Each structure stands twice: as C-alpha cells, then as structure tokens.
Amino acid sequence: MVRVRYAPSPTGSPHVGNIRTALFNYLMARRHGGAFLVRIEDTDKAREVPGAVEEILESLRWLGLQWNEGPDVGGDFGPYFQSERLTLYHSIAEKLLDSGAAYRCYCTPQELREMREFQRINNMPTGYDRRCRFRKAEELEALAAEGRPFVVRLAMPLEGEIRFEDAVRGVVSVEAKLVDDQVLLKTDGFPTYHLANVVDDHEQGITHVIRGDEWISSTPKHVVLYRSLGWEMPVFAHAPIIKGPDGAKLSKRHGDTRCLDYRDKGYLAAAVANFIALIGWSPGDEREKMSLNEMAEAFSIDRIQPNPGVFDIAKLQWMNGLYIRDLSPDA
C-alpha cells in the first residue's frame, strides 16, 4: 500500500513549489489507491507564523487535494502535528544514544562561535568539529553533573561513502566525513527537522518521500538515521527546483508565488493545479490540459524530470483561458 505525505512547516503561506510537492504526493496516492497524509512539521517554534496552518489547509482544499489522514480528518497514525509527538522523538533519541549512534554535545553557543571563527581564520571547512564525541567519559560526566544543557547529535560515519538511490536523480553519493554531526534534539527538548521527519516517516508507514530538491543534501543524514535504527528506507524522489523563464530561481518577479494569490485573482483551481503539476512532470504524451483525475491516472515518479522545472506565467494564463472557456455561461 502506497503511503505518501505532504509535510509542510507552518512558516508561511504555501508557494508554488510547496504546492507542487503536495500535488505530486496526492497524485501518487491516487494513482496507486494509497493514502495521502498531511503532517504539520511544527518543531521550530521560532519560525512558526500564526495562521500558516490554516493557509496550508485552505490551499489544499481550494485545489481539491483531499487528504486521507491529517489535521481535521485524523487517522490511525496521529497526531499529525509534530509538536504533539515529542515523547516519541525523545524515546528514539534515547535509543540512538544507547547504541552509540548519537551522542550528547555540551558545547556552548560561545564555544561553537569560537570554533567557527578558528575554522574561518585557518581556511578550514566550517562545521562541528565533533569534540564532544571524543571527550573522555569523566569529562562528560563532569559536564552532566554541572547540569549543562546539551543537544543530541548524530554520529556520522567517519569514513566511506553514503549512497542512496533517488528515483529522480539516480544514485547519489557523498563522502561521509564531509557531513556534519547533525543536531537531532535541541536544548529546549524539541527535535530538529531531521529526527522528527525520519521518525514520523517510519512510524507513519510512509513508502515514498517525494519532496523538493532543496532537501537532497539532508538525505544522507536521513539514510544514516534509518540504518542506525535498523529501519527500512522509503523510496526517495526529489523534484527539481523551479525557475522562471529567464533561468533565475523562481521569485516574485516571475509572478505571484503564493498559491492563494491565484485564487484571489480569479484563476480557476483546476487550471492552477494542472499548470503546477506540469512544472517538472509530464504524462509521457502530448496532453497538457488534464484534470486531477486524468493526472492521477497518468502519474508516475519516473516522469518527474531531473532538470529544473520552468514556471511560465504566460502558460498559466493560456491554460486558465482553456478552463474558463469550458465553463457554462452561468458559471
């Protein structure tokens, strides 16, 4: 059974790229008669924007991307807000600490600043130098006894490569020692994205992770987490970044980027969904005008392109015209 998720952080109103991720996941679920989950990744309280969750759900509703599990509708794998799942993350962090796959880091913000400054002056790559990982047991005990706050970090392999197969990009491989010992649990007891995301994808039975390309550099860390926990990995599929017709990264000057702005301007939801799905994906034939049902029938991860997708507002206007001309005079 295919289980996919859209996992937004409530840091603002969803833009075209977020919605494309939601759409691909929705289409994948529909194609295989699977489940489409919405999970709110609200573990970074400082970046949370009031009202964002509502805007996220409102955008999905407007486009007709009905979710099978998530906020409002519930489901067997809830809660679907990460801030309500903290005990779970703590228990997994404990497990990682026990097996030595993670360690406590007592470095203070001041120490970390000095570390970075030292690396900068000496032209060294910046990143955590893993000093707490190699501290003597007595030293660590003394720091703990002092009651110093700590974070939990992932102990990355120090040699070899981390390889994984991406369904869009093919084999991706990075040198393990170049990857930072990622913070998993912060001093405030909240998990970082990496821990919460992997734990939930596992616990919620996610089979395919379809998300934007900006997350591909995080995936090696996730792979190490899956391995350390002895969990089976989902299929990863990273959709290409979106550019404007001029080749620059998509921004306001190429048109509105907030999905609901299109609704507010009178665009039809079906046209917007159709247009967004075709940024970096194609049905494998010449068809362009397609309903959600038609796209769901044709959807396949294999036809997500690895090259950047192009957002061309002129094409959206053309497509919106097709849909408008299909309406009855009354509508």
**C-beta of 7 vs 132, nearer to ligand GLU:** 7
**Dihedral angle over CA of 49, 51, 55, 57, nearest 10:** 110
Cα-based distances in Å from 300 to 6, 106, 280 = 17, 46, 12
Between 175 and 204, how does the x/- string for binding to ligand GLU read (CB under 6 A)?
------------------x---x-------
Question: Is the separation of the CB atoms in 111 and 101 below 8 Å?
Answer: no
Stretch that binds ligand GLU, among 3-11, 154-162, 280-288, 292-300 (CB under 6 A): 3-11
Between 5 and 44, how does the x/- string for binding to ligand GLU read (CB under 6 A)?
--xxx-------------------------------x---
For residue 95, what are its two tokens? 């497990």
DSSP state of 172: E
CB of 24 to ligand GLU, least distance (A): 11
Q: Binding-site residue total for ligand GLU (CB under 6 A)?
A: 8
**Residue from the set 153, 211, 243, 258 that interacts with ligand GLU by CB under 6 A:** 211
CB of 8 to ligand GLU, least distance (A): 5
Cβ contacts of 119 within 8 Å, gap of 6 or more:
125, 126, 127, 129
φ/ψ of 256, rounded to 5, equals -65, 140
CB of 211 to ligand GLU, least distance (A): 4
What's the chain's Rg over C-alpha atoms? Answer: 22
Among the listed residues 59, 68, 79, the one whose alpha carbon sits nearest the alpha carbon of residue 3 = 68
Instruction: Determine whether 304 is exposed, middle or buried from the number of CB atoms within 10 Å of its CB (0-12, 13-18, 19+).
Output: buried
CB of 209 to ligand GLU, least distance (A): 6
* Binding flag, residue 318, ligand GLU (CB under 6 A): no
221 has catalytic annotation: no
For residues 303 and 167, what is the distance between their CA atoms, to the nearest angstrom? 10
Between 134 and 173, how does the x/- string for binding to ligand GLU read (CB under 6 A)?
----------------------------------------
Question: Is the separation of the CB atoms in 172 and 218 below 8 Å?
Answer: no
Could you say which of 45, 136, 252, 265 is catalytic?
Answer: 252
Applying CB under 6 A, the residues found at the interface with ligand GLU are 7-9, 41, 193, 197, 211, 215
Residues assigned a catalytic role: 252
